[in-house]
A and B are shown apart, each in its own frame.
Chain A
């Protein structure tokens, strides 16, 4: 779960990382009122859960209250990478002498926490890392390890923080590391850490991403006004609907509705469709052991999607049972009806029973099943993928 800059700075403040004066505003009028009491020039920073806001025009300065309101109006009108700007942070502009980079993140392959620092802070830090790796300082620690001041001081020194400020710099690094551990973070980043003209170190930005699966341990976040939220960008209406139903779902730009089992085959099934010349309209994961109700909802998402020309269904019953799967499909057919063509396959746990339930329902009401081709273990999944591509083409897809 990613935090807004202003929330990240709340956490920074809690850990005694200097963040400087700042005010949150939710409308141009509020901006006007607040800046009237501030020192100019003032910086107006759009608050969005994505990077690249500077390049998107989301950061502006103003020399007076009227200019601040005008510029804030521009910011509030922006949508940056799908995120509409709903608030801005107002800060007296820092007089910058130098910019550093400090980050703490996970090194999953080596099961370590890594502290990263550089004397070349700013937006192009990744290029620095790629082109001049020697300008990046790193230290790996085990999860249970304390980061000591003397180690942090060494890191600070290597980044070129001037001697009189080394102790402050080291404290910022230690505190950032402690914040990372205390709040189950995946990433905390100060970019840039600014050395001001009057020789102070200030965290000019704050990037914090926490582990969604550990938020339950931090009820104080809610007390600070930091609510649990969706990690990624803005969702399409269908993605939102799926999220409300608890179904992992992503819209893609093709025309074959993907109705698979687990996440693993959800990903690989999309490749299969491509191999046979089709394009999936979505990614979806049923989750383990879906109920018939959930299966029916998955189909509703696909059938109501106007981009979908044909549906590809694949169920390998593991923990989930093919008879439940068949019941879910039949529930959907009865309650909703299928307007698209669908080819599907059931195998694994209880597949014969699934096929039997299907055949029985079909005999009773063949009309309901007219758009469905159902297969069992005898047809390889590759054939089902090919057939889905054919069906989509017949329906005028690409």
Chain B
């Protein structure tokens, strides 16, 4: 089992004829991901790595039954591409490009919610359900099928955590990269609750970092969950971040330091970990 993607997901690639699209389509296929096609306006009828290319997402969905899409397009085209995808019935969308205009992401998020779709990114390394599907740009070397889920803002942290889980024999159900952009398609709490519904996931490691408010927002979800949550936060010793003027402080309250975030998560019942080697120790203690 897994969350969001598995071997039965029918995956398409938006921007499949571009350099990055082509390159990563090949990698994803090599992993065994069920890629059914892709779209690039004006390139309908072509093929990439044996998969059909359509002019629109709707045509791809109609002809291949695609229900998941990965976007490899320049940031300025993401707003339209993402809205096109969710309106065409894509239920899960992975936005790999970074530096997407913030206002665009607000539009995209609104459309996704309206259509019941889930989005991760921008600036995500992707998502992998080991042994089943690998979407995005993650190397497969760190991952093995297993029983722990991970959710992180950063690609590099995802690799380290998965590597730790793999080396210590736990393996992973699904590893989700939320992305590094300032406004993200999904939040920690939303992904945590999906792991809670997955029987195969016996524990979740969440890795946040200093800045923003997404980590603090996870506390309600953690309180509701039966599945144990391990939490790591990067930036305990980072210099104080730049603040967004008075209005930012009024809206977001005190900017969460890494320690504040860890304290809030621990208070909600998460198990804090300082370094990667704390993860298997904590899992063992919890009897996972």
Q: Which A positions have Cβ atoms within 8 angstroms of B?
A: 51, 101, 103-109, 111-114, 116, 125-126, 129, 136, 142-144, 181, 184, 186-187, 189, 191, 207, 209, 211-214, 216-217, 231-233, 250, 252, 260-268, 270-272, 274-275, 280, 283, 288, 316-319, 347-349, 351, 377, 380-382
Contacts and interface: CB of A to CB of B under 8 A. Distances in A.
B238 A186 contact: no
Contact of A317 (B139, B217, B275): B139
B132 interface: no
Contacts of A213: 75, 99-102
Dominant secondary structure of chain A at its interface with chain B: mixed
Contact of B275 (A262, A263, A377, A382): A382
Of A267, A274, A349, chain B has the most CB atoms within 10 Å of the CB of A267
15 contacts: A108-B212, A125-B250, A143-B110, A186-B244, A187-B245, A216-B76, A252-B239, A265-B160, A268-B234, A268-B235, A271-B258, A280-B237, A316-B163, A380-B277, A381-B160
B197 to A, nearest CB: 23
B152 to A, nearest CB: 7
Contact of B159 (A209, A280, A348): A348
A180 to B, nearest CB: 9
A126 B246 contact: yes
Given A114-B247, A264-B152, A267-B238, A108 B160 contact: no
B11 to A, nearest CB: 18
B18 to A, nearest CB: 15
Contact of A316 (B100, B156, B207, B239): B156
B246 to A, nearest CB: 5
Contact of B106 (A111, A261, A262): A111
Contact of B277 (A126, A211, A382): A382
Interface string B83-124: 000000000000000011111101101100000000000000
A106 B101 CA distance: 13
A267 B234 contact: yes
B236 A103 contact: no
Interface of B: 75-76, 99-104, 106-107, 109-110, 125, 137-139, 141-142, 152-160, 163, 180, 182-183, 187, 207, 209-210, 212-214, 217, 232, 234-239, 242, 244-252, 258, 274-277
B102 A264 contact: no
Given A129-B246, A181-B103, A187-B247, 17 more contacts: A109-B217, A112-B106, A143-B110, A186-B244, A187-B245, A189-B246, A191-B246, A212-B99, A260-B156, A264-B152, A271-B234, A274-B237, A317-B139, A318-B156, A348-B141, A348-B142, A349-B141
Contact of A381 (B109, B153, B276): B276
Contacts of A104: 247
A103 to B, nearest CB: 4
Nearest to B24: A319
Instruction: Report the 8 A-B pairs with minimum CB-CB distance, sorted nearest first.
Output: A264-B154, A262-B156, A268-B234, A103-B247, A214-B101, A143-B106, A105-B247, A265-B156
B156 A264 contact: yes
Contact of B137 (A144, A271, A274, A318): A318
B110 A126 contact: no
B237 A265 contact: no
Given A213-B101, A318-B159, A270 B251 contact: no
A314 to B, nearest CB: 9
Of B156, B160, B277, chain A has the most CB atoms within 10 Å of the CB of B156
Contacts of A184: 101-103
Contacts of B102: 106, 184, 186, 211, 213-214
Contacts of A262: 154-157
A211 B246 CA distance: 17
Of B102, B152, B182, chain A has the most CB atoms within 10 Å of the CB of B102
Contacts of B154: 262-265, 267
A113 B110 CA distance: 12
A380 B246 CA distance: 43
A204 B101 CA distance: 29
Contacts of A181: 103
Contacts of A232: 242
Given A114-B247, A265-B157, A275 B274 contact: yes
A288 B258 CA distance: 24
B278 to A, nearest CB: 9
Contacts of A187: 244-245, 247-248
A136 B253 CA distance: 13
Given A126-B249, A143-B110, A108 B183 contact: yes
